[in-house]
Amino acid sequence: MLKIYTEDYFQKIILLEKQVGKKTSYKVLEPFSINPKDIISIQNAGKKIAEFIGLPDFTFIIATVKQKEKVGGNIDLKYGEKEVFVEISDNIIKYENAILATLAHEITHKYMHINNISCGSNTLNKYENEVLTDIASVFLGLGKLMLNGCECENIRQEYLPEKTRTITETLKCGYLNQTQLAFVYLLVSTMRRISPDDYKHGLSSDSIQALLYCENKYPYYFNKRFSEPNIRGELVEHLHSAIRDTQSTLSNIDKHLLYIQNSCTYVIEDFLEKKHKVIMNMLLESSTMMNDVKYDPCLKFLNAVQLNQRISKLISRLYDFSLEAKLYQNSVTKITNYIQSTGYPFLQPSLDMFNTVVCRNDGTKLKLPKDNPYLLSRCPKCNYQFIADTSLLIAEEYKCNKKRHRIKNIFKRLFKKQ
């Protein structure tokens, strides 16, 4: 079974609908009988088909002529002449339905010619134009003739002296096969809301089978709901609903982020800022501590006692800070360990993450040298001097493993020595 190029056929039907849809009747020409041996009967068939698709002013003069292999017929297309010459192959002359399908195809060529419908006049488009013509003949209401006549079978008995031989001859004409035509026919019938009774009437059992096959294989294209008046609204609403679902998940992630910020990041930042500000003041104070009276040894002594008291107080305060900081450090380490063990979408630590440091006294960002665990830095804006660590963050667990590994190695070495 040949492939059905659904998208291509779909585009060609859109092209036809845009160009001649408004003046095309929704009627389908019912199959009719002709006498294949009578050229007048064939002539009348041509006239009937031409009138049906709206070409009553032309006279189609039909002759049976030997054609090239696999060519069912051809038509002489000239502008400005009322007589149109059509040749049909002597091969198909014994198949009544094939004659009708060939006439439908050739006369449709004339319709396209006078309506200027094509995929382009270049010879490269010849095949495309033939496919378009097959589709157009269905579009113009000749689908039943096309379906019944595109693949014909002739079974005859030959009587030989000893036995009877059954000879089956098959003939394919046109460019689309029966299944491909069935797809086009079903699509056109569905978009025009023709009832199944009407579009199936008069079709051969083969044609009906081909329709059934397409209905089952491509149900998407034949869904009646695409004809409903508010279908665009429904489809767009479907998209909007999917958008809202995604946004809802995104907003939930955002809520988590807000929680992380408010419960953790901001708390840590606040802590760092407060402590650094106090330390900044200590540093400022310390810069005056060297000032002393020059010549009175007793006063120098007393001042030193006082300074010692003051410094002890400050150091005790720093000790309290350290205890509090340890708590923050433990908690924040747990979080970074957890992030590292979670992996994607979170990133593993890299040196680029750690060399932009914030001065916690005034918020200035400092770009510092990479990979230094103990950098004495000074903020260019507020002059605050602080220690920065731009080395890679390593998970605590990993550090522990390393330590364990080292201890294991020491034991190993000791054991070997014994």
Contacts to Zn ion by CB under 5 A: 359, 361-362, 364, 379, 381-382, 384
Residue 381 or 404: which CB sits closer to Zn ion? 381
Residue 295 CA, chain-centre distance (Å), reads 87
Contact 117, 139 (CB under 8 A): no
What phi and psi values does residue 264 have, to the nearest 5 degrees? Answer: -130, -65
Write down the least CB distance from residue 363 to Zn ion, Å: 7
Write down the least CB distance from residue 351 to Zn ion, Å: 23
Q: Which residue is nearest to Zn ion (CB)?
A: 379
Residue 64 or 364: which CB sits closer to Zn ion? 364
E strand or H helix at 338, and its extent?
helix 297-342
Which runs of E-coded beta strand occur in 76-140?
83-89
Write down the least CB distance from residue 308 to Zn ion, Å: 30
Two structure tokens written together for 22 = 């408004």
Write down the least CB distance from residue 414 to Zn ion, Å: 51
Residue 206 or 273: which CB sits closer to Zn ion? 273
Write down the least CB distance from residue 322 to Zn ion, Å: 22
Residue 366 or 395: which CB sits closer to Zn ion? 366
Residue 125 or 385: which CB sits closer to Zn ion? 385
Residue 126 or 381: which CB sits closer to Zn ion? 381
The three-class DSSP label of residue 26 is coil
Residue 41 or 364: which CB sits closer to Zn ion? 364
Two structure tokens written together for 269 = 């930042």
Residue 337 or 364: which CB sits closer to Zn ion? 364
Two structure tokens written together for 353 = 């993450």
**Which residues touch 414 (CB under 8 Å, ≥6 apart)?**
none
Write down the least CB distance from residue 286 to Zn ion, Å: 17
CB atoms within 10 A of CB 234: 10
Q: How far is CA 13 from CA 138, 199, 228, in A?
A: 10, 18, 20
Contact 260, 317 (CB under 8 A): no
Sheet holding 59-65, edge to edge: 59-65, 83-89, 73-75
The gap between the terminal CA atoms of the chain, to the nearest Å, is 82
d(CA 302, CA 54): 121
Write down the least CB distance from residue 375 to Zn ion, Å: 15
Write down the least CB distance from residue 379 to Zn ion, Å: 3
Contact 65, 87 (CB under 8 A): yes
Write down the least CB distance from residue 357 to Zn ion, Å: 11
Residue 227 or 383: which CB sits closer to Zn ion? 383
Residue 142 or 379: which CB sits closer to Zn ion? 379
DSSP string, 225-270: GGGSTTHHHHHHHHHHHHHHHHHHHHHHHHHHHHHHIIIIIHHHHH
Q: Which residue has 């329709």 as its token pair?
A: 211
Residue 45 or 379: which CB sits closer to Zn ion? 379
d(CA 197, CA 199): 6
Write down the least CB distance from residue 273 to Zn ion, Å: 11
Write down the least CB distance from residue 369 to Zn ion, Å: 18
Q: Which is it for strands 83-89 and 375-378: parallel, antiparallel or unpaired?
A: unpaired
DSSP string, 36-61: TT-HHHHHHHHHHHHHHTT-TT-EEE
